[in-house]
């Protein structure tokens, strides 16, 4: 269990970033605030004991990544069940897209959803959290070489998607 002080500091410093990371990872396919709460519940219940600030940060994003992957797997099942879902619940309009004004960003976010989860996680940690390759590797528990390769492939894929639109 994480002590109260570490938890309070972590919540104050990292909650918005963790939630944003989850939004990026889920790309509209889940409840990011709900999962972010879950990340911090887990931190409180069984987070790293006596860990430094950096370790807590890596731990938070690692757990967020894992929860996002679980959620995305569930959504794959739900997508398969969509015809049934349509029978059970009437569709409701979502204001999501209307609020995203910037065209470049809107297109980018749509393409982000098509990247592999590994590539998306690496790119979001790099661009939003401004983590170094070593920090991303420590967070995602992968090699620095994989981080380098995932970032490159993510950018290549985004570029190809962007150019295909033209």
Partner 1 sequence: MTCPRLEETSALFDGALGDDAAAAARAHVDGCAECRAFDAHMRRVRDALREPVAFAAAPAPRALWRRRIAIPLPVALLLFALLVALLLPRRAARETGAFDGFDAGRAPVVVVRSRGAR
| Binding residues vs partner 1 (CB under 8 A) | 20, 23-24, 26, 28, 30-35, 71, 74, 77-78, 81, 84-85, 88-89, 92, 94-97, 99-100, 102, 104-105, 108-109, 124, 126-128, 132-133, 148-149, 151-152, 155-156, 158-159, 162
- Please identify, using beta-carbon distances, which residue of 55 and 70 lies nearer to partner 1: 70
> Rounded to the nearest whole angstrom, what is the least distance from the CB of residue 47 to partner 1 in the complex?
21
Alpha-carbon distance 153 to 40, whole Å? 31
Closest CA to 149 of 164, 160, 133: 133
Q: Which two tokens stand for residue 26?
A: 């889920």
> Rounded to the nearest whole angstrom, what is the least distance from the CB of residue 126 to partner 1 in the complex?
6
Closest CA to 121 of 147, 152, 156: 147
- Please identify, using beta-carbon distances, which residue of 4 and 103 lies nearer to partner 1: 103
> Rounded to the nearest whole angstrom, what is the least distance from the CB of residue 18 to partner 1 in the complex?
13
How many alpha carbons lie under 13 Å from residue 115 in its C-beta half-sphere?
A: 29
Within a 10 A sphere around the Cβ of 166, how many other Cβ atoms?
4
- Please identify, using beta-carbon distances, which residue of 49 and 77 lies nearer to partner 1: 77
Q: Which two tokens stand for residue 106?
A: 């809107």
């Amino acid at each position: 269990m994480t002590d109260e002080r570490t938890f309070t500091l972590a919540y104050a410093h990292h909650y918005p970033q963790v939630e944003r990371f989850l939004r990026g990872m889920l790309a509209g396919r889940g409840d990011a605030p709900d999962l972010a709460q879950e990340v911090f519940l887990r931190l409180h219940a069984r987070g790293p004991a006596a860990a430094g600030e950096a370790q807590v940060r890596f731990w938070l994003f690692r757990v967020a990544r894992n929860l996002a992957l679980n959620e995305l797997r569930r959504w794959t099942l739900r997508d398969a069940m969509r015809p049934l879902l349509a029978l059970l619940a009437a569709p409701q309009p979502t204001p999501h897209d209307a609020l995203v004004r910037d065209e470049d960003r809107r297109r980018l976010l749509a393409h982000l959803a098509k990247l592999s989860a590994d590539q998306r996680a690496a790119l979001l940690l790099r661009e939003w959290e401004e983590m170094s390759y070593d920090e991303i590797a420590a967070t995602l528990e992968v090699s620095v070489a994989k981080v380098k390769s995932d970032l490159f492939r993510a950018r290549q894929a985004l570029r190809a998607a962007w150019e295909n639109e033209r």
